[in-house]
Structures are given as C-alpha cells and as structure tokens.
C-alpha cells in the first residue's frame, strides 16, 4: 500500500488544463522530489495533495483514505512553504505548537513535542522570539519544526530553500536530508533545482507542461534519461545534444565528424535513422585529463573558445559539428583560447534519442 | 577668532533652519494652549472682557467636577464613543471581508463605500433628522405602511431612542473609515500563513480568529485612533438632530461646552471643560497607540 497515490489526477482552471492526468505512487517513508521548470505543474500537484487546490478529475489517496474532497485540515499532512508562512504575531513556541493547540492537545503534550522538535532543529534558544526577529535560515527551521511537531503522515515541501542564499541553501539541504533520516516520514518535495532533487531524493519525478516525463532514482534518471528533455534538465552543466544520423555502424554528426554506434545501442537503431546524440560534458575530456583509454571510445578535435576554471576541473566551451558543446578537463592545466585539443568521448556513456519523438532509442 | 565664529555658526545652522517650524508651532499650537489654559483659571465671560484678568485658581475645575450634568455628559460621551466605535468596527470588518472576496467590480464598490464620508456631517444630521422625525419621517412612514407598527415612534423625542438615532447616523457616516483601513489590511495580508493554518488543522473560523484578525488589528487600531478623536469631539450631528435634548438626554461634552461657552458666554468654564475633554482624547489616543505599537512589532515578520 502506498503512502500517497495519485491516479489520473487532472487540474484545470476553466478550460486551461495545467496537469494532465498524472499517476504517481509514493511509498512509505520515501523521499520523492518533484522537479521541473517553472509552470510544469509541480507546485500545483503538491498543493492538490495538500488540499489547497481542488482536483478537477482523478483520485488522490493518502494512506488508504480517498482524500479528493477532504479539506487540508483532515488530511493529516504538514507543509513547509517557500516564504516560510510563519504566523507573524506568534512567537516561535506558539508557531510550533499552533497545530497541536488547534487539534485540542493538552498543554503538557504540546510543550513536550515543541521541545522535541526545537531540539531536533536546534532552535531551542529561539522559542520566545517572534518571526520578525529571526534570520531567513532560522525562519526556515521554525517552518520545518512546525511541520514535524504534528507527526503527520507526510511532509510536503514547496521550494523551501529558494529564498535562502547559496551557502545557507546547501547547509539546509543537508539538514533536510538528516531530518528525514531522523523522523522517518514520507516526504514530497518540490523544487526547480535539479541539484536539490539529485541530492535529496530517493526517487525523482521530472515534470514538464503538466506531464510526468520520468520517474526514477537519481542514478536512474541521470544515467538513463528517457528523453531529450530529461537529458538536458538533469545534470549540470547540461548534456550536449547534437542532431545526427545513423549511417551503418556510425553516428554521423556532420560531414567530417562521426563516431561509432556503441555496441549496447546497436540493436536499437537502424540505418538512416535521424537521431539526437547526447554526451555529458564529463564524458568528453581532453586526452590525459579524465577518461581512461578503453575500446569504447571515440576521438574528436576541438578548438577551445572559452575555458572556465572551476578548480578541480575546467569547463571548456567549443563547437562540435557546428553545435556549441561543453567538455570537462579534469586535473586541469592552463589552456589558451584558440588552442586545439584532442578530446576523448566515452562511447559507453553516449545517449541516442529518436530525433522525431525525442525519446531514448533504448526506450523504443 | 574667525574660526571660532565659523564653528559657532555651524552649530547654529540646524537651529536656524528649524526656526520657521518652531515659530509656527509656537503661534499655532503653544500660545493658544497657554491662553486657553489661562482662561480656564479665570471667570472669563465673553460679555465682560475685563474678567480675563481675574485669577480664580482651579475654581472652574472644581465647579465642573462637582456638576452632575457634566459627569452625565462625560459618561454619555464615553458610552457614545464605545458603542459607535465597536459597531463601526464590526460593520467595517464585515464590509471589508465581503469586498475582499469580490473579484469583479471591487474598485467601484470601494468608491461607493466611501460616499457617506463625502457629505458634510451637518447635512447628514439634517437628513437623519428628517428620516427619524416622528410625524413626517420616512422611517415611521415606512414602518406604518409595512404594518409593523401603527404608532408614531418618537425616535428623536425619547431619550434612549434619540441616542440610538444619533449613533445610527454617526455609524452610517463613518463605518467606511474602518472598512477602508481594514480592507487595506486584508490586501496587505500574505496568503501563505492562511494556507499554513489550513494545513495546520484550522477550519475557516479558526483561520480568521487566529491568523486574519490578529494581522489586521493594527489597522483597526489606526482606525480607532482616528475615530476616537473624531467621536470624542462630536458636536455637529448632535447639535442638528437633537441639540442635546430631550431634556439634556443626548448632551455630550462638546455640545455642553458650546452651550456654556457661547450661549452662556462663560468661556473660562468652557475652556476648563475643553481641557478635561482633551485629556480624555489624549487618553484614548495613547491607549490605541500603545496597542498599535505592540501589534506592529511583528508586522515585519509577515513576509
């Protein structure tokens, strides 16, 4: 039995349909991240689970209860909002205990749970302060504390870190992960940041234009993107996508650039097929600066147009077969603009997508 | 030596620049205050100007404090204030909440809502005097035509009904002060805490009671400050509708004050009353401002 299950859930505003019949099963204690560009319907989906938005069609179940028509307060879930949504006129203690107080819990229980949550989040010293006196990170902690005191069936996070500065965001990301280990509960987490999705999720749900594009573990969606959208969205810097054509055993990128079709993909392509070749920057490196020589390898020459020094690696911008591409130089040395370098492409990491449908050739 | 003057000049500059404001305040506020305070310590009569020079200490104050009629007017003013402010607050809140829900025609309604404030209080007084008139008034006429009563209800002649009628007119004219300020509060209200409260287990009433209401109270306090000053000096509507009658049953501080000062020409005693009334207003303002400041402390954390 799933903790949360969505079946054929549709959301429409008047005639405008924004979520088109999505199906999703979320297991108990699973950390699921909904990710996608803005306007993809991920926040709407989360708000439908919370009950803050009505569903137009389909069913949502939390535990074994059908919650389609239940108001948020009867769904036994808690939610952390992007703007923290703390109650401005209450101090931290009352913010944390508010839900329990409304539920009619005795003061002793409220006090106990508030202290417990404050302990977990390290905000015990802030209990008497009001939200206006807290920093962004502290407010975020209080918002999470307010979610955990109620021991709900599921936590819903709506872009909780996007108002924090970069450093704090990384720190809070780790804390959310730790929090999930401590209080084992089902989590549905919405973000537009694929790094957050990759680092936090047990499973990632990638959405676009109101459809689910792919559901899988972070490793799965990174290594086996089902289409060019997922390929381009997951991974930073994004995968290089180059239009190409299959000619015999070769992937022809342009008249003078061709690479062999990897063995594992041979069964999935046919002669003359129009494809999109996908290569992650990590899998295209100058000789001696990343990929070790194997038999699954191709060689290309690239002229450096721009080199971005990142410390442990250098990002190299160039053109391959007339398309802008990025490669990575690990263990970098100084490179000059205009310098031509011989690159290796790891063919076992090469992705091929049907040029018509955008779908991975492996997916058929 | 020159340097010494230069620094002296630099030190004087702020004072010099503030001089016009200081002089204006002195003439417009401080002097009249001192003058009226002085006259409240004299038996000053408008008809006998020389009496302004006779100092009688606090005898005017003793006289009004021992005067039952004054205390009756004082108490009535506070009652009038309490009822009018609370009714206006409740009605204004209701109107603001309703208008906040409207999606179409909201601007127009907001404007229409302000109409009563556009009329002169004297005219509002006359209009309600006509409406409440027991013989030719439209209200009695309507009640009788609808068969609700066959008697002419003495709206402005019976003491209690007269008070009710005045409060009614006052509320009609000024509820929109509350409505517009509370509406501004509702517009400024962030949506997230409302949704958080719903997820936290609140039903609609609990959301309103625990989240919305505390948030808009500072706006209510602003309205109450403005209106308490306004109502505490109520004169025009009362003067027009009942002239303090019947038999002084609607006499408020300021109608009494005007009677003593201008009709009886006893300006010294009237000024003593005015001082008491001013202290009353200051007390109300102080009360609401304290509330406002306490409530504003958290407003910064709304975001």
A151-172 confidence digits (pLDDT tens): 899 999 999 898 888 888 898 8
Q: Do residues A92 and A129 lie in contact, with contact meaning Cβ atoms separated by under 8 Å? A: yes
B298 contacts chain A (CB < 8 A): yes
Residue B236 pLDDT level (bands cut at 50, 70, 90): confident
Sheet holding A211-216, edge to edge: A77-80, A154-158, A186-191, A31-35, A203-208, A211-216
Tokens found for residue A255:
């008249």
B129-160: b or e for each residue (b if 16 or more CB lie within 10 Å)?
A: bebbbbeebebbeebeeeeeeeebbbbbbeee
Q: What is the mean pLDDT of residues B174-180?
A: 91
Tokens found for residue B195:
């949704």
Chain B nearest CA to A65, separation (Å):
17
Chain-centre distance for alpha carbon A358: 20
Tokens found for residue B274:
């005015």
A85:B193 CB<8 A: yes
B192:A81 CB<8 A: yes
Give B128-167 pLDDT, tens digit per residue.
989 988 888 888 888 888 888 778 788 888 878 888 999 9
The rounded mean pLDDT for chain B is: 87
Question: What does the pLDDT read at residue B301?
Answer: 43
Query: Any idea where the domains of chain B sit in the sequence?
Result: 67-301
B213 contacts chain A (CB < 8 A): no
Q: What is the mean pLDDT of residues A297-309?
A: 90
What CATH number was assigned to the domain covering residues A240-354? 2.40.50.140
Residue A364 pLDDT level (bands cut at 50, 70, 90): low
A130:B298 CB<8 A: yes
Residue partners of A24: CB distance under 8 A and separation at least 6? A4, A5, A6, A32, A205, A212, A215
B205 contacts chain A (CB < 8 A): no
B298:A150 CB<8 A: no
What are the angstrom distances between the C-alpha of B221 and each of B98, B171, B178?
Answer: 20, 17, 9
B188 contacts chain A (CB < 8 A): no
Please state, in angstroms and rounded to a whole number, the distance separating the CA atoms of residues A247 and A82.
50
Q: Quickly name the fold that domain B67-301 has.
A: MetI-like fold (1.10.3720)
B198:A89 CB<8 A: no
Chain-centre distance for alpha carbon B34: 24
Q: Quickly name the fold that domain A4-233 has.
A: Rossmann fold (3.40.50)
The answer to whether residue B274 scores a pLDDT higher than 60 is yes
Q: Which of B209, B301, B302 has the highest number of chain A CBs within 10 A, making it the mutation to test binding with A?
A: B301
Q: What is the mean pLDDT of residues A296-306?
A: 88
Query: Any idea where the domains of chain A sit in the sequence?
Result: 4-233, 240-354
Question: From the list B196, B298, B300, which residue is nearest A79 (CB)?
Answer: B196
Chain B nearest CA to A133, separation (Å):
7
Chain A nearest CA to B295, separation (Å):
8
In the DSSP assignment, the letter for residue B259 is I
B291 contacts chain A (CB < 8 A): no
Instruction: Write down the ipTM of this complex.
Output: 0.82
Please state, in angstroms and rounded to a whole number, the distance separating the CA atoms of residues B111 and B175.
14
Question: What does the pLDDT read at residue B57?
Answer: 81
Q: Please tell me which residue of chain B has the smallest CA distance to A87.
A: B193
Tokens found for residue B242:
């009942």
Question: What does the pLDDT read at residue B171?
Answer: 93
Backbone angles phi, psi at A295, to 5 degrees: -85, -15
Please state, in angstroms and rounded to a whole number, the distance separating the CA atoms of residues B174 and B36.
30
Residue partners of A13: CB distance under 8 A and separation at least 6? none
Give A95-119 pLDDT, tens digit per residue.
999 999 999 999 999 999 999 999 8
B296 contacts chain A (CB < 8 A): no
Backbone angles phi, psi at B178, to 5 degrees: -65, -45
Residue A88 with chain B: CB contacts under 8 Å: 193, 215, 298-302
The answer to whether residue B5 scores a pLDDT higher than 80 is no
Question: What does the pLDDT read at residue B303?
Answer: 40
B211:A99 CB<8 A: no
> Strand, coil or helix: what is B293?
helix
Question: What does the pLDDT read at residue B4?
Answer: 63
Question: Which pairing describes strands A306-309 and A313-320: parallel, antiparallel, or unpaired?
Answer: antiparallel
Question: From the list A72, A87, A132, which residue is nearest B199 (CB)?
Answer: A72
Q: What is the mean pLDDT of residues A340-345?
A: 90
The total number of residues shown for chain B amounts to 303
Q: What is the mean pLDDT of residues B108-129?
A: 89
Q: Do residues B232 and B77 lie in contact, with contact meaning Cβ atoms separated by under 8 Å? A: yes
The answer to whether residue B299 scores a pLDDT higher than 80 is no
Please state, in angstroms and rounded to a whole number, the distance separating the CA atoms of residues A139 and A160.
11
Q: What is the mean pLDDT of residues A272-282?
A: 92
Q: What is the mean pLDDT of residues B10-27?
A: 90
Chain-centre distance for alpha carbon A31: 11
Chain B nearest CA to A78, separation (Å):
6
Question: What does the pLDDT read at residue A67?
Answer: 92
Q: Which of A41-55, A311-325, B51-65 has the lowest mean pLDDT?
A: B51-65
B199:A77 CB<8 A: yes
Question: What does the pLDDT read at residue B152?
Answer: 79
Q: What is the mean pLDDT of residues A21-25?
A: 93
Give A27-64 pLDDT, tens digit per residue.
999 999 999 998 899 999 999 999 999 999 999 999 88
Please state, in angstroms and rounded to a whole number, the distance separating the CA atoms of residues A202 and A33.
8
The dihedral built from the CA positions of residue A89, A47, A224 and A346, taken in this order, carries a sign that is: negative
Chain-centre distance for alpha carbon A56: 26
Q: What is the mean pLDDT of residues A273-296?
A: 87
Question: From the list A89, A99, A134, which residue is nearest B201 (CB)?
Answer: A99
Q: What angle do CA A7, A10, A13 make, to 5 degrees?
A: 160
Q: What is the mean pLDDT of residues A351-361?
A: 91
- Residue A320: enclosing H or E segment and its boundaries? strand A313-320
Question: Which pairing describes strands A274-279 and A284-286: parallel, antiparallel, or unpaired?
Answer: unpaired
Please state, in angstroms and rounded to a whole number, the distance separating the CA atoms of residues A289 and B207.
60
The answer to whether residue B300 scores a pLDDT higher than 60 is no
The total number of residues shown for chain A amounts to 364
Residue B207 pLDDT level (bands cut at 50, 70, 90): very high
Task: Enumerate the β-bridge partners of residue A152.
Answer: none
In the DSSP assignment, the letter for residue A262 is P
Residue A87 with chain B: CB contacts under 8 Å: 193, 196-197, 210-211
Question: From the list B196, B201, B206, which residue is nearest A81 (CB)?
Answer: B196
What are the angstrom distances between the C-alpha of A291 and each of A221, A310, A328, B72?
Answer: 22, 18, 10, 97
- Residue A346: enclosing H or E segment and its boundaries? strand A340-346
Question: What does the pLDDT read at residue B110?
Answer: 87
Residue partners of A342: CB distance under 8 A and separation at least 6? A286, A287, A299, A300, A301
Residue A73 with chain B: CB contacts under 8 Å: 198-203
Question: Which pairing describes strands A186-191 and A31-35: parallel, antiparallel, or unpaired?
Answer: parallel
Question: What does the pLDDT read at residue B113?
Answer: 87
The answer to whether residue A91 scores a pLDDT higher than 80 is yes
High-pLDDT (> 70) share of chain B, %: 96
The answer to whether residue B10 scores a pLDDT higher than 80 is no
Residue partners of A325: CB distance under 8 A and separation at least 6? A240, A242, A279, A281, A284, A302, A317, A318, A319
Chain B nearest CA to A22, separation (Å):
23
């Amino acid at each position: 039995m799933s903790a949360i299950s969505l079946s054929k859930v549709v959301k429409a505003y008047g005639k405008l349909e924004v979520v088109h019949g999505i199906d999703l099963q979320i297991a108990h204690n699973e950390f699921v991240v909904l990710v996608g560009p803005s306007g993809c319907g991920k926040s709407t989906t989360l708000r439908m689970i919370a009950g803050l938005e009505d569903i137009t069609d389909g069913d949502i179940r939390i535990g074994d209860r059908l919650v389609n028509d239940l108001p948020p307060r009867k769904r036994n879930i808690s939610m952390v909002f992007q703007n923290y949504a703390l109650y401005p006129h209450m101090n931290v203690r009352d913010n944390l205990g508010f839900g329990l107080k409304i539920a009619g819990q005795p003061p002793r229980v409220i006090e106990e749970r508030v202290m417990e949550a404050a302990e977990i989040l390290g905000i015990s010293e802030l209990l008497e302060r009001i939200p206006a006196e807290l920093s962004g990170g502290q407010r975020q902690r209080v918002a999470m504390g307010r979610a955990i005191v109620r021991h709900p069936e599921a936590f819903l996070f709506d872009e909780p870190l996007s108002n924090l500065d970069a450093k704090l965001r990384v720190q809070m990301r780790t804390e959310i992960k730790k929090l999930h280990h401590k209080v084992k509960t089902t989590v549905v987490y919405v973000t537009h940041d694929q790094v957050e999705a990759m680092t936090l999720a047990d499973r990632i749900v990638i959405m676009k234009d109101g459809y689910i594009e792919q559901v899988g573990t972070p490793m799965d969606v990174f290594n086996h993107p089902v289409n060019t959208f997922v390929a381009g969205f997951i991974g930073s810097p994004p995968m290089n996508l180059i239009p190409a054509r299959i000619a015999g055993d070769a992937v022809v990128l342009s008249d003078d650039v061709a690479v062999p079709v990897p063995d594992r993909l041979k069964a999935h392509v046919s002669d003359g097929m129009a494809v999109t070749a996908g290569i992650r920057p990590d899998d295209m490196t100058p000789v001696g600066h990343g990929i070790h020589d194997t038999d699954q390898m191709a060689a290309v020459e690239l002229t450096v147009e721009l080199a971005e020094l990142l410390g442990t690696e250098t990002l190299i911008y160039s053109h391959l077969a007339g398309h802008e591409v990025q490669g990575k130089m690990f263990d970098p040395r100084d490179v000059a603009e205009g310098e031509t370098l011989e690159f290796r492409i790891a063919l076992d990491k090469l992705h091929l997508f049907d040029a018509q449908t955008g779908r991975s050739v492996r997916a058929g | 030596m020159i340097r010494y003057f230069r620094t002296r000049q630099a030190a004087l500059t702020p004072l010099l620049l503030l001089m016009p404001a200081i002089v204006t305040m002195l003439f417009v506020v401080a002097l009249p205050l001192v003058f009226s305070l002085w006259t409240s310590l004299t038996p000053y009569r408008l008809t006998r100007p020389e009496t302004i020079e006779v100092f009688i200490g606090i005898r005017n104050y003793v006289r009004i404090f021992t005067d039952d009629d004054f205390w009756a007017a004082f108490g009535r003013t506070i009652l009038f204030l309490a009822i009018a402010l609370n009714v206006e607050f409740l009605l204004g809140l209701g109107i603001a909440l309703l208008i906040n829900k409207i999606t179409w025609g909201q601007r127009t309604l907001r404007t229409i809502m302000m109409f009563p404030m556009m009329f002169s209080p004297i005219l509002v007084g006359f209009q309600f005097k006509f409406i409440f008139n027991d013989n030719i008034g439209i209200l009695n006429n309507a009640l009788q035509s609808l068969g609700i009563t066959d008697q002419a209800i003495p709206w402005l002649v019976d003491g209690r009904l007269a008070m009710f009628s005045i409060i009614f007119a006052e509320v009609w004219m000024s509820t929109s002060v509350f409505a517009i300020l509370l509406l501004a509060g509702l517009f400024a209200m962030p949506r997230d805490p409302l949704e958080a409260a719903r997820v936290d287990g609140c039903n609609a009433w609990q959301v309103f009671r625990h989240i919305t209401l505390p948030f808009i109270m500072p706006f209510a306090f602003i309205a109450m400050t403005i209106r308490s000053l306004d109502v505490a000096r109520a004169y025009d509507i009362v003067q027009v509708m009942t002239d303090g009658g019947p038999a002084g049953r609607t006499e408020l501080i300021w109608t009494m004050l005007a009677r003593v000062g201008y009709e009886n020409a006893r300006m010294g005693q009237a000024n003593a009353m005015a001082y008491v009334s001013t202290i009353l207003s200051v007390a109300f303002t102080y009360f609401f401002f304290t509330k406002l400041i306490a409530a504003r402390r958290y407003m910064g954390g709304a975001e």
